[in-house]
Chains A and B, each alone.
Chain A
Amino acid sequence: MVEQIGKQIGKQIGKQIDASEVTRVAVIACADWQAVAAQCELYSRKQWFDAVAVLHAQRVVARTAYAAKQGVQIGMRRREAQAVCPELHIAANNKERDRLMFESVVRAVGELVPLVEVSTPGVILLATRGPSRYVGGDDALAQRLHGITHNALALLADGRPIVFGVGIADGRLTALVAAHAADGRYLVVEPGESAQCLAQLPVSVLADFAEIDRDVVSLLHRLGLSCVGDLATMKPSDLVGRFGPVGFELLRLACGFDRHPPITIAPPPERASTHRFELSVEDVNVVVATARTVADELVTHLNNQGVSCVRLHICMQTDHGEQSDRLWYQPEGLTAAAMAERVRWQMDAWIATRGLTSGVVLLRYLPVGLRAREGRQLGLWGGSTQADEWAARAIERLTTMLGSDSVRVAQWRGGRDVGEVFALTPAAVVDMERRAESVVIKETVWSGALPTPSPSIVYDEPLSAEVNDASGCVVSVSGRHELSASPAHVVIGRHAYNVVSWAGPWPVEERWWDSSRQRRAVRMQMVLARDGDDTAHTTTHAVVMVLEHGEWWMTARYG
């Protein structure tokens, strides 16, 4: 029965595909931009590393071309990466840095093409129709873009090579693939040849460049559809019957079209939201707060029309007539919070490049890409509730009041010290609707970590301590991790304690191969009682003591 319905829908959709048209786009893509951005930032501090990798949650998420040549791969753990490439410099994931470093490239391209779309740092998209005609054809445009980007990147890295590619094709996916395949040059796919170009590629490109779920791609493999071309030959009805709406998107992508059909119905009249400030505003937070209210109205309006915005043109003007235009893309549809966040990014970039000399007087949202709103599939945690909405508002308000560094959320990154398992990131830069994925503990057993339960008080600054044995000598640990004697007395600050019981020592050996960053320490658990109390009613404290460089520290307490 379900298959029957799927087939019927598929037949109707098959007709739609032919009728839909596709925009021709140019893409400038710097592979592994996060690593390149980290490298450029280090260079701006007069340090140059050929091999740089960016880690997130203890896994490599990006690495420079040199590191890749040495064998560092995406998804490797820190240790594995350092093992294959000992001179590797590890940098933390930092979205702000990625955006800011890319801004000079965006600005350079912006001088040729006024309206560009930056969906993620490292990738610029632009519609070729106007610019191509202006410079005299796709080839000429690709050449120009290549030259501009090359110069901009050369300025960033002082002439050292940074790999990037330019691709022009029908549809985003083909253009992205072309840009990544161009390998330092440019590649133009002739109009109408996108489907042929994609046909030979493995289906994993759909996950890499078109944000199709990896589970779906894996399923395609298991069904024997290993090339994009295989998908294109499938009957639409079969794909829709098996995969639902995603099947239709897969087919569109395989045929060289964009993932979502462009909505061609007449736009609702209030589609563009404009806000004029009565007085020019210089504070970013105020602009963003206003942007949020305007975005709320816009999103409510679009929701009532049954559509959500996937591409948004944000335009801002200052009192002196400077203007900033930028396109933003989010395949799942932009929420009001996401729109306001994009305004913040655009403002930050604008300020960083010193593009404005006075306060903002006008803010305009222009939703240029709409898609039918099919209701977003929310995770296990259920739909957003009133409580979520209130919390989101409070977070925004607190961020404005206290600054983004004072309102933080935890993100898992793993580690063997209790203090470093979770990193605190400003709540303003985190997508609160997808929080559930980022805090989940990915590896429950971390080798070398203290046994659970973990201490509930972890001191930001460890307290210096003295640990003595019964005869009053300082307890030390030998090279073979043997205690010189059982600990009996502990002095922390002005207080003296008796050791009731103890466990350990558990050694930590980190980066023993690197003399400048190596760390050797032992950790112990001790139960302490205040000296002088009688044992019947005394309070006992369990603490974590660390011995490092011959000194004892109290780092945590079971409070």
Chain B
Amino acid sequence: MSSSLPVTQALQSILPEGVLVRGRTVLCSGDAAMSTALLLVCAATQAGSWLAIVGVSDLGLMSACEQGVALQRTVLVTPTDNKKDWTSTVAAVADGFDVMMLEVPRDASESDARRIQTRIQARRNVLVLVETSRHATPRSVFAPDVVLHTQTTRWDGIEHGAGYVQSRHIGITVSGRRVPRAMQHVLQHVG
């Protein structure tokens, strides 16, 4: 098993290692969290990895498809509200899927998060956490290796009563445990 999974070219210069290293946790936050997360996992799914999307509400599948996520290797899992079951569900998902996209419920505790991260490291998966502004957790209970905080700076193609949204510029701040110094990047992104 190779030690990493590929990412699309656009993100190669942004991630510290230029790839998704197995066993690591990446947190996407900010207003473009969802599309950044989708962009992050698409190359891995195309290369044959399976993606489980666990508890992510309101995901636009059409957008996932357009960004290149291989939907034939994507499974959507809805965990129960029970907190104990949530941990065991995530653990079961970690057993079978290379990449996991997770929206952390509000009441997740730090011990749950630690157990999941230990599991991820042992099973050599990649965990992508999505923090959409609608369900913002006050502070992440996970200790992500890489944090991609996004902020859209400009929308292209849409004007005052004309055109349509064609692409956008996203400012990405990269920080986290594995990043020695926080870095700023600008990404032109479609979707």
Contacts and interface: CB of A to CB of B under 8 A. Distances in A.
B77 A455 contact: no
Contact of A436 (B72, B151, B165): B72
| Pairs A-B, 3 closest by C-beta atoms | A394-B96, A453-B191, A391-B50
A468 B162 CA distance: 18
Nearest to A539: B31
Interface in B55-72: 57-67, 71-72
Interface residues of A, number: 57
B148 interface: no
Contact of B95 (A390, A405, A457, A542): A390
Interface of B: 31-35, 38, 48-50, 52, 57-67, 71-80, 85, 88-89, 92-93, 95-98, 132-134, 151-152, 155, 158-168, 190-191
Given A391-B97, A402-B89, A453 B78 contact: no
A394 B79 contact: no
Contacts of A381: 72
A456 interface: yes
Given A390-B96, A542-B165, A558-B35, A409 B76 contact: yes
B65 A441 contact: yes
Interface of A: 381-382, 385, 387-388, 390-395, 397-398, 401-402, 405-410, 418-419, 421-422, 424, 427, 435-436, 438-439, 441, 450-460, 486, 500-503, 525, 527, 539-542, 556, 558-559
Contacts of A459: 58
24 contacts: A385-B48, A394-B92, A398-B96, A401-B85, A402-B79, A402-B85, A410-B76, A418-B62, A438-B72, A455-B60, A456-B35, A456-B60, A456-B63, A457-B59, A500-B155, A501-B159, A503-B164, A539-B151, A541-B31, A542-B158, A556-B60, A558-B168, A558-B191, A559-B35
Chain A contact residues: helix, strand, loop or mixed:
mixed
Contact of B75 (A407, A455, A457): A407
A501 B50 contact: no
| Majority secondary structure, B binding face | mixed
B76 A503 contact: no
A527 B191 CA distance: 14
A122 B134 CA distance: 47
Given A390-B50, A455-B63, 14 more contacts: A387-B98, A388-B73, A394-B92, A407-B76, A409-B74, A418-B63, A427-B75, A439-B72, A452-B66, A454-B191, A458-B62, A502-B161, A503-B163, A558-B35
Contacts of B167: 453
Given A453-B190, A457-B132, A559-B33, A502 B158 contact: yes
Contacts of B190: 453
Contacts of B161: 486, 502-503
A458 B75 contact: no
A398 B89 CA distance: 7
Nearest to B52: A394
